[in-house]
Amino acid sequence: MSDADLQPRPYVRATGSLSRRMILIAAVWILVLLAGGGFALDRVLTSAVTRNFDDQLEYLLNSMIVSAEIDSNGAVMFNRELADQRFLEPGSGLYWQVTGKGFEPFPSRSLWDRLLKVDPHYRGTAIHIYDSKQFSDEKLRIVERNLKLPGSSTIWRFQVAEDRGSLDAQIDALRRTLVRSFALLGLGLLVMAALQTWYGLLPLKKLRLEIARLRSGHSTRIEGEMPEEIAPMVEELNALVAHNDRQAEEARRHAGNLAHALKTPLTVIMNAASAQSGPLSETVVREARTMRRQVDHHLARARAVGRRGSAHSRAEVWPSIEAVERAVSRLYPQVRIDASGPHDLVAHIERQDLEEIVGNLVENAAKYGGGSVFVTVQAEAGFVEILVEDDGPGIAEADRQRLFERGVRLDTGKPGTGLGLAIVRDVAEIYEGTASLEESEDLGGLLVRLRLPAAG
């Protein structure tokens, strides 16, 4: 089976690829799910990391409050140093400050010459957490709380602030990990969807190859096991093929019966008219011969069409060439007929049709040639070519195409119906082949090139 047999027909209009559609749908759905899931997971993890960061600040704030006392001047003092060493290092990124109305702010040594701003709008006693950009080189995360210490009527604001650079770094690292993980997951899911699509649609490719085998004549029905979703369609296709074969055979049988039914009375009319003389007899004979030519022509077409319905039509070319050579040699013993070419070529045509059209060509070459006929068989790009050459006077290029018309004869001095080449062309075209007339370079006469599809 050639590659051309597997190609889709040019008149089939494609509306896109099922594989691409399925992969595109899977890709869009995977993207939506991963984007939604990634966003939700990012929110959860970012919130968890931020909450952990805030919990540490709250712990330090509570440690400050527990250690705070009122001195003899009414100001806040700590009965012990806070544990974190960064409070003692200027610009360390971790700060605290205590502020009370009527008292100077009490900052940590790490603030050095800076002070934390106090939000006048915050008046509650619950813990207040917010971000601040009051330092140009640091973005702070501040935890604060208002409360009264024992022995003091002043409302003190305790504040702990930390540069949130470490928090942002953790969040960025987390997001990079999420993006990479989800990208790898998405790629893996797309590959899985592509493999699933390829494997899922593989039976359709197998079905296509089986149909191509059916069309090329390698099988008479679609065979092989199919998935349960495709099996009913295969059964219907096989039923359709069987139905078409029955219809084609029935049409061929009816056409043949009609042709044979007409040929018998035509023969009687011609015989009766031939026994008489005069214009009426000549007219009857002439018209009866015309009717017989038409019957022969349509009978040949009906046989070819009927056989073409059976997709397994195959004929070995060389035995048919030899059979035609023997038959024509008996009719024209004075003509030398030679043949050459490979003996293993097989054409996609019924043997009876092949012998009929090749017989027409060889008989014409023997009848109108100069005594030599040469037949060449060769393979050419998925076709079997049969070249029939003679050493006759040849045919002018302007007249070659006319010979394919029914009833046209250039040499009326010899008996014939004028249907031989017309039948050859019609039968060849029925089997998707061609017939053309050329000039023979070797013998100098006419060359007929018959091309028929090769059956592997």
Residue 393 pLDDT level (bands cut at 50, 70, 90): confident
Q: Looking at this protein, which amino acid is placed at residue 1?
A: M
Write down the pLDDT at residue 418: 40
Would the pLDDT of 250 be above 80?
no
Q: How high is the pLDDT of residue 257?
A: 63
At residue 407, the pLDDT reads 44
| Lowest-pLDDT range of 98-102, 220-224, 260-264 | 260-264
Q: What average pLDDT does range 190-208 have in this prediction?
A: 86
Average pLDDT over residues 293-297: 64
Of residues 124 and 181, the one with the higher pLDDT is 181
pLDDT of 280 reads 62
Residue 424's pLDDT is 84
**What distances in angstroms separate CA 415 from CA 3, 195, 280, 324, one per listed residue?**
45, 69, 21, 20
Tell me which of 214-218, 303-307, 411-415, 420-424 is least confident: 411-415
Q: How confident is the model at residue 6 (pLDDT cuts 50, 70, 90)?
A: very low
Backbone angles phi, psi at 68, to 5 degrees: -80, 140
Judged against a pLDDT cut of 50, whether residue 121 lies above it is answered with yes
Q: Is 285 exposed, middle or buried (0-12, 13-18, 19+ CB in 10 A)?
A: middle
Lowest mean pLDDT among 29-33, 209-213, 269-273, 450-454: 269-273
Is pLDDT above 60 for 137?
A: yes
Q: What is the pLDDT of residue 14?
A: 64
pLDDT bin (cut points 50, 70, 90) of residue 260 is low
Rg (CA), the chain: 49
**How far is the C-alpha of 424 from the C-alpha of 436, rounded, in Å?**
10
Q: Is the pLDDT of residue 48 over 90?
A: yes
pLDDT over 80 (residue 169): yes
Name which of 40-54, 151-165, 240-254 the model is least confident about: 240-254
Which residue's entry shows tokens 């501040």? 142
Average pLDDT of span 45-56: 94
In terms of pLDDT, which residue wins out, 4 or 322? 322
Q: Using one digit for the tens of pLDDT, what is the confidence trace for 296-353?
A: 666 666 655 555 544 557 889 999 999 999 999 998 999 999 999 999 999 988 888 8
Q: What pTM was estimated for this model as a whole?
A: 0.50
Query: Mean of the pLDDT values across residues 429-438?
Result: 86
> Residue 222: its pLDDT value, please?
82
* Percent of the chain residues topping a pLDDT of 70: 79
Mean pLDDT of the chain: 82
Whether the Cβ atoms of residue 145 and residue 65 lie closer than 8 Å to each other: yes
Residue written as tokens 């008219």? 273
* Model confidence at 441: pLDDT above 90: no
- The answer to whether the CB of 429 falls within 8 A of the CB of 308 is no
